[in-house]
Structure 1
Amino acid sequence: MNKGDPIPDVTVGDANGAVPLRSLVGGWAVVYFYPKDDTSGCTREAQDFTALAPEFEAAGIQLVGLSKDDAASHDKFAAKHDLRVRLLSDEGGAACEAFGVWTEKSMYGRRYMGIERATFLFDAQGLLIEEWRKVKVPGHAQAVLATAKTGGDAGPGRPVR
């Protein structure tokens, strides 16, 4: 994905069924990818976005978290931590592939495929304004909110709505 690219035309899901990511077009949106429900870093990130959810909402920005966990796992994760972020399932990996976040990782010398923690900011036309790759959780949600409120580097004072 490059700045200016449209939100990928892929479908993910939630407990209510299929959700085309293009349905986010029409308002600004933050789409963040995380490796796994109910792990320490992923929980902290979801809690940070949840704490700022009222500010995102006030600015007209939708928040969407994506992982390969199924909808039942997302529902359990959200209930356990009282999350106010919409969590969507990419069980088939189409969104991960389209966004380029399904990557080779390494832990303790073992190589495996997994989701790279990444965040994408789209404007109301569904165009990529900013991206964050290999995200470190502390302070990330605040940085995304600050960028979204100013319109990123797409232009000074670019309106958020």
Structure 2
Amino acid sequence: MRTLENLLWTAILATLLLPSLSHSETTKQKATLESGDVPVFARKLVKNAPPPLRNGARARCFMSDHRLTESEFCPVIIYRGLTYWPMSFDDNRVAILAAGYDDNKKLVREVYMCGTRYVFYATIDTKVQNVVFWGQAGDNGDATSAKVSWRLLREGGATCPVPSATGLKPAP
């Protein structure tokens, strides 16, 4: 089933991203998509989310930035064999943890990000190679966001200072 899902997403992305490229560029870009070098957005059932982590982070996703009703789905990012779940913290801090799990549901990578909480959507920017998680509206009424580079998704780490109580390594 996973292979079929990957092929479907590859076909969709190839159709959307590749029509203006030459044949050699198309072949190279298609190979990149198939190798997992481009993150993919998906929605997964919250009931299939990994269990809460030791630091009070858990998959809690919402309907929108203004409607803080929990959703039955979470926006996740699939990248290089890992599924990144946006985890909000029990202490309500304005930060999330993108927790990367392999196909065996083993936690492999963590990325700590400040700027949002209670995620409802995620976007992928292929030009600047980052992922943006969108969450609860701020004081100005607009959705808040937390950006992370593809490099940080590959390596793990943080986009801002990490409180020592999280049990994560501080940002470099």
TM band (smaller chain): under 0.3
Task: Choose between structure 1 and 2: higher helix proportion.
Answer: 1
Bigger relative contact order (CA 8 A; separation at least 6):
1
Task: Choose between structure 1 and 2: higher strand proportion.
Answer: 2
TM-score scaled by structure 1? Answer: 0.27
Bigger radius of gyration: 2
TM-score scaled by structure 2? Answer: 0.26
